[in-house]
Chains A and B, each alone.
Chain A
Amino acid sequence: DIQMTQSPSSLSASVGDRVTITCRASQDISRWLAWYQQKPEKAPKALIYDASNLQSGVPARFSGSGSGTDFTLTISSLQAEDFATYYCQQYNRYPLTFGGGTKVEIK
């Protein structure tokens, strides 16, 4: 199985901050990576697919980059509604696997 490791597991930030979350795959997954946002008691919502493509309707302050084994999700200017948990997921091969999540909290 491909292991997905996210860092940090949690972070505190203020509105307006630039936030970067890292996801590392245990083997090369090319660009077959997605990012999801999950708010408490809600289903995950797709933000980014194919490492850097913005899902329709997602604000442009979200961006993704990377390829191979190292990926990042960046929020250019954190907004109040962005406080949530973020997950990466690889779909290079089965079984499909998720990272452990990064919780973004208010400082």
Chain B
Amino acid sequence: QITLKESGPTLVKPTQTLTLTCTFSGFSLSTNGVGVAWIRQPPGKALEWLALIYWDDDKRYSPSLKSRLTISKDTSKNQVVLTMTNVDPVDTATYYCAHRLSFGELHFDSWGQGTLVTVSS
């Protein structure tokens, strides 16, 4: 059974750097084809894909946020970390991590519960 759980600060000040951690179980990021993505959802709004990292360290980013995002993995800890620099109140959202494969079933088949991050001074 795949499970994912996001963790990080609930409140961040504008211009600061946000660091979120996704801790997962039920799969390994050293397994061929496995990936973990970050997706966010501002209150009352739609989902937005942010970044994705694969087992081979291939990384993909949303072009609109690429300059501010960094995704990394710690395979030994079963964790994926997302950092977002220079946050703004518009970055207030629930942040989700999700499991994905790079071949076969390519959708986000398992999601974490999400973590709400508020950006405010």
Do these two chains interact?
yes
Chain A residues in the interface with B (C-beta under 8 A)? 1, 32, 34, 36, 42-46, 49-50, 53, 55, 87, 89, 91, 94-101
Which B99-121 residues have a C-beta within 8 angstroms of A?
105-114
Question: Are A96 and B113 closer than 8 Å at their CB atoms?
Answer: no
Question: Are B108 and A44 closer than 8 Å at their CB atoms?
Answer: yes
Chain B residues in the interface with A (C-beta under 8 A)? 37, 46-49, 52, 60-64, 96, 105-114
Known A-B contacts A97-B49, A98-B46; the reply to A46 vs B107 at CB < 8 A is yes
Q: Report A-chain residues with C-beta under 8 Å of the C-beta of B49.
A: 89, 95-98
Complex Cα distance A32/B48, Å? 17
Question: Are A89 and B109 closer than 8 Å at their CB atoms?
Answer: no
Q: Report A-chain residues with C-beta under 8 Å of the C-beta of B63.
A: 1, 95
Secondary structure at the B interface, as helix, strand, loop or mixed, is loop
Q: Report B-chain residues with C-beta under 8 Å of the C-beta of A55.
A: 109
Secondary structure at the A interface, as helix, strand, loop or mixed, is loop
Which 3 pairs from chain A and chain B are nearest by CB?
A34-B107, A49-B107, A43-B111
A88 CB to nearest B CB, Å: 10
Question: Are B60 and A94 closer than 8 Å at their CB atoms?
Answer: yes
Question: Are A98 and B107 closer than 8 Å at their CB atoms?
Answer: no
Question: Are B46 and A34 closer than 8 Å at their CB atoms?
Answer: no
Complex Cα distance A44/B46, Å? 11
Known A-B contacts A95-B62, A95-B63; the reply to A46 vs B109 at CB < 8 A is yes
